[in-house]
A = this chain, B = another copy of it.
Amino acid sequence: MTSLPKHLTGDQASIDEFIDKFDVRVLWSGDHTFPGTVETLELLRSKGKKTIFVTNNSTKSRPEYQKKFTSLGIPSHVDEIFGSAYSSAIYISRIMKLPAPKNKVFVLGEAGIEAELRSEGVEFIGGTDPAYRRDITPADYKNIADGSMLDDNIGIVLAGLDLHINYLKFSLAYQYLQRGAKFLATNTDSTFPSHHAFFPGAGSISIPLVNMTGQHPIALGKPSQAMMDSIEGKFQFDRKKTCMVGDRLDTDIRFGIEGKLGGTLAVLTGVSKKEHWEAEGAEVIPAYYVDKLSDLMG
């Protein structure tokens, strides 16, 4: 029986103890900030704490994320940002290292993935190429079936959030997998939050391929430890002195627990609620929680 998390909101002694305990915070990142978030990050920085931003959003590259943080008033450096597109590019170029020429990637996704693959020198097709943003034609069926429309050098299918997904792309990705390409996903979140509602996430792009092939992709976003290894490869941080902060139990908090970080802090401004870890059989239980991040300011 794991014990229930400590509620830090309004408990100054516990907040101080919490802040002292960790040197590094690995922070989730959504599309907006809540009141007080910027000030809280400044407070932590002033106490010498390092912040790393980790996001499963694969549609933006790290430089694009950095721009966004700047616009939100959050100082950051590109090297402190880890996105699932970057994590995927690293995995492909430094871990898989498929031998040329059969090492090209067929991308289901947006420009963020393309930018990160380019930064690692990985060749790819698909993605935002307008040639794939069209309806399937009768000739396509024939040319996909007989292989004449396929690139023989595709060794990997990488599925991320593709806001321009279509039947042609699904058909091509399936055919590449059938012909032996390895199956990766930037992340497999079924949804993502926007405007206080939910929209189809990257997992909605990969799941038809899972259903068709019976294969599951290697996922490179949280809670995959491939993401943690990629962060560690860059920072050599002490896991025991590091706390994962996030608003989703199944990705953020699980990521911290499975990565054996020193602590996990759930923030109740997102998807996950207190009831989730209090429920019978709850598997993912944070060490701490606050109602909102700015509660750390006391």
Q: Does A212 contact B (CB under 8 A)?
A: yes
- A10 to nearest B CB, angstroms? 31
Across the interface, A212 reaches (CB within 8 A) one of B162, B165, B191, B195, namely: B191
Across the interface, A174 reaches (CB within 8 A) one of B166, B194, B198, namely: B198
- Chain B residues within an 8 Å CB radius of A164: 135, 166-167
Choose, from A80-88, A202-210, A282-290, the stretch at the interface.
Answer: A202-210
Q: Does A170 contact B (CB under 8 A)?
A: yes
Q: Does A178 contact B (CB under 8 A)?
A: yes
B204 x A141 contact (CB < 8 A): no
B174 x A199 contact (CB < 8 A): yes
Closest to A196 in B: B145
Q: How far is the CA of A194 from the CA of B198 in the complex (A)?
A: 35
Copies in the complex: 2
- Chain B residues within an 8 Å CB radius of A171: 199-200
Q: How far is the CA of A178 from the CA of B136 in the complex (A)?
A: 30
Q: Does A144 contact B (CB under 8 A)?
A: yes
Q: Does A47 contact B (CB under 8 A)?
A: no
A163 x B142 contact (CB < 8 A): no
Q: How far is the CA of A167 from the CA of B207 in the complex (A)?
A: 14
Of all A-B residue pairs in the complex, the 6 with the closest CB atoms, nearest first, are: A145-B197, A145-B195, A204-B208, A207-B211, A170-B200, A190-B212
- A129 to nearest B CB, angstroms? 15
Report, as a range, how many residues of chain A touch the other chain: 35 or more
Q: Does A76 contact B (CB under 8 A)?
A: no
Q: Does A175 contact B (CB under 8 A)?
A: yes
Q: How far is the CA of A197 from the CA of B191 in the complex (A)?
A: 31
- Chain B residues within an 8 Å CB radius of A165: 165-167, 170
- Chain B residues within an 8 Å CB radius of A178: 197-198
Mark out the residues of chain A between 242 and 289 whose CB falls within 8 Å of any chain B CB in the assembled complex: none
27 contacts between A and B (CB under 8 A): A141-B195, A142-B195, A144-B195, A144-B197, A144-B199, A145-B194, A145-B195, A146-B197, A162-B167, A165-B166, A165-B167, A167-B200, A170-B200, A171-B200, A174-B200, A178-B198, A190-B208, A190-B211, A200-B208, A201-B212, A203-B208, A203-B211, A204-B208, A204-B211, A207-B207, A207-B208, A207-B211
- A215 to nearest B CB, angstroms? 12
